Homo-oligomer: A and B are copies of this chain.
Amino acid sequence: MDYQSYFSKQREQHLNELSELLRIPSISALSEHKADVKKAAEWIADSLRRAGLEGVEVHPTAGHPIIYAEHLHAPGKPTVLVYGHYDVQPVDPLNLWETPPFEPSIRNGKLYARGATDDKGQVFMHVKAVEAILKQEKELPVNIKFCIEGEEEVTSPNLPIFLKDNQEKLASDLVLISDTALMAPGKPAICTGLRGLCSLEVSVFTANTDLHSGSFGGGVPNALHALVSLLASLHDDKGRVAVEGFYKGVPELTPMVREEFAKQQFDEEKLRQDLGLTSLYGEEGYTFVERVGARPTLELNGVYGGFQGEGSKTVIPKEAHAKITCRLVGEQDPQDMLDKIERHLHDHLQEGATIKIVQIEKARAFEIDPSEPLLQKAADAYEKIYGTRALFTKDGGSIPIVETLSRVLSAPAVMMGFGLPDENLHAPNEHFNLENFDKGLLTIVEYLKSL
């Protein structure tokens, strides 16, 4: 039976199984769901066993478990490590979901549920692709290993330790990851770059108590004034980050790279309209896709201090807070960036105020050369199934573990995503377009067989 017929025949069964997995609320960020996360891990492990994988382990960690499985019976053939995650994002605000997040529902060819596209649906496809080949051909065209974690949505704190401890066991020729998206329906893409990330919290303090703005206003420092002037100093009036040395390690865009970006024919005017903006905004001299794909950024994610209720309150707040993240590219070192920002903040602090800074996340950018043959073969596989060759894109987001996997295992990472950009990852009404579920299964089989 050809694979298309096989997957058609199995479709109902596959979707029932996936729905079973999606019903488990494996929210890694919330401790009250710890048992659910474990349940999802066991579910994945069972499905790997049933698919014919061997050595299946649910490996405990200090946090949520990591699943390992393997099928190593293709001597002389490359070894593929499939990475993915079975944990999901929280679901608030619950009232915005059209159907409950953990009651999968298919509408207009789309499967709605938390985790449908990020990443349970995509992990499940790899399990079923391997199962299909084993059922149809009794053997695999490659050696395969699965490493599926349960902490991706909480920045994978335990995976690097697992990688380090099991470097030999996990050794492979390529890391295959489906946790990204096509550019648009029918337009496949392979992500060849992810920005790095570093984040920090800044708190500014002035008096030891909130003060009345009548009795003290004009005569004492105001934590909010100190904070906003500090935060404003982080950018110049051209939208560039004003932290000294921030752009160190950022590669200049070569004409070739710019050409690759231009190929995407990204419609900035449409984006502007879709977002309801009077204009896009960013560093001068770069297009939107260049800014997001190849330039670093420093963003304020949250700022708060003082009175937020209705009406007015004449208070001079004693403290004010900000949350900041940077996206990094090229050789920018996250620790170095955090240190530079910290120095900038100390240097620009207003008299009469004190500051406390907490560094949080640190992840380097990831980049792979599109001319890598393993990537070219992936693009070919997409072309066979979708009728369109995948474009090589750079994503502005960060999946810190991609860089770590690739570096620790010294293997190229191939990001074959089957989601779509508007599938509400991390938001209410997350869904997965089943056209890409169907085509994705075939693309994975095609790719594994081409290696």
Residues in chain B near residue A306, CB distance under 8 A: 300-303, 323
Q: Which residue of B lies closest to A360 (CB)?
A: B312
Contact B218 A300 (CB under 8 A): no
Binds B, one of A3-11, A142-150, A221-229, A439-447: A221-229
- Bound CA–CA A297/B217 (angstroms): 6
A136 within 8 A of B: no
> With A232-B229, A275-B220 known to touch, is A213 a contact of B325 (CB < 8 Å)?
yes
Contact A300 B395 (CB under 8 A): no
Residues in chain B near residue A219, CB distance under 8 A: 280-282, 288-289, 291-292, 396
Binds B, one of A99-107, A202-210, A332-340, A380-388: A202-210
Q: Which residue of B lies closest to A316 (CB)?
A: B299
A276 within 8 A of B: yes
Contact A300 B352 (CB under 8 A): no
Q: Which residue of B lies closest to A350 (CB)?
A: B281
Q: Which residue of B lies closest to A399 (CB)?
A: B214
Contact B208 A275 (CB under 8 A): yes
A216 within 8 A of B: yes
Contact with B along A410-439 (1 / 0, CB 8 A): 000000000001000110000000000000
Question: Taking each of A304, A353, A354, which has the highest tally of chain B beta carbons within 10 Å of its own beta carbon?
Answer: A304
> Smallest Cβ distance from A268 to chain B, in angstroms?
9
Contact with B along A287-311 (1 / 0, CB 8 A): 0110110011101111111111001
A31 within 8 A of B: no
- Bound CA–CA A283/B352 (angstroms): 13
Residues in chain B near residue A213, CB distance under 8 A: 297, 299, 301, 325, 327
Residues in chain B near residue A320, CB distance under 8 A: 303
Contact B217 A292 (CB under 8 A): yes
Residues in chain B near residue A303, CB distance under 8 A: 224, 227-228, 303-306, 320
Contact A312 B325 (CB under 8 A): yes
> With A228-B231, A312-B323 known to touch, is A221 a contact of B277 (CB < 8 Å)?
yes
A235 within 8 A of B: yes
Residues in chain B near residue A206, CB distance under 8 A: 277
Q: Which residue of B lies closest to A327 (CB)?
A: B217
Contact B297 A218 (CB under 8 A): yes
> Smallest Cβ distance from A332 to chain B, in angstroms?
13
A278 within 8 A of B: yes
A16 within 8 A of B: no
Residues in chain B near residue A296, CB distance under 8 A: 218
A52 within 8 A of B: no
- Bound CA–CA A421/B214 (angstroms): 12
Contact with B along A344-376 (1 / 0, CB 8 A): 000000111110000011000000000000000
A279 within 8 A of B: yes
> Smallest Cβ distance from A206 to chain B, in angstroms?
6
Question: Taking each of A303, A308, A312, A320, which has the highest tally of chain B beta carbons within 10 Å of its own beta carbon?
Answer: A303
User: Using a CB-CB cutoff of 8 Å, which residues 232-280 of chain A contact chain B?
Assistant: 232-233, 235, 237, 275-280
Contact with B along A189-213 (1 / 0, CB 8 A): 0000001010101000011110111
A315 within 8 A of B: yes
- Bound CA–CA A287/B276 (angstroms): 49
Contact with B along A70-91 (1 / 0, CB 8 A): 0000000000000000000000
Contacts A/B (CB < 8 Å), 21 sampled: A197-B214, A207-B276, A207-B277, A212-B397, A214-B395, A214-B396, A215-B397, A215-B421, A218-B283, A218-B295, A218-B296, A221-B281, A227-B303, A228-B228, A228-B231, A278-B351, A278-B353, A301-B315, A303-B304, A304-B304, A307-B323
Q: Which 8 A-B pairs have the closest CB atoms?
A: A214-B397, A218-B297, A232-B232, A208-B276, A302-B306, A302-B307, A221-B281, A281-B352
If A212-B425, A219-B396 are given as contacts, then 14 extra A-B residue pairs at C-beta distance below 8 Å, sorted by A number, are A212-B426, A215-B397, A215-B421, A217-B327, A219-B289, A220-B280, A220-B281, A228-B232, A229-B237, A278-B354, A301-B315, A302-B305, A304-B308, A308-B321
Interface of A toward B, CB cutoff 8 Å: 195, 197, 199, 201, 206-209, 211-222, 224-225, 227-229, 231-233, 235, 237, 275-283, 288-289, 291-292, 295-297, 299-308, 311-317, 320-321, 323, 325, 327, 350-354, 360-361, 395-398, 421, 425-426
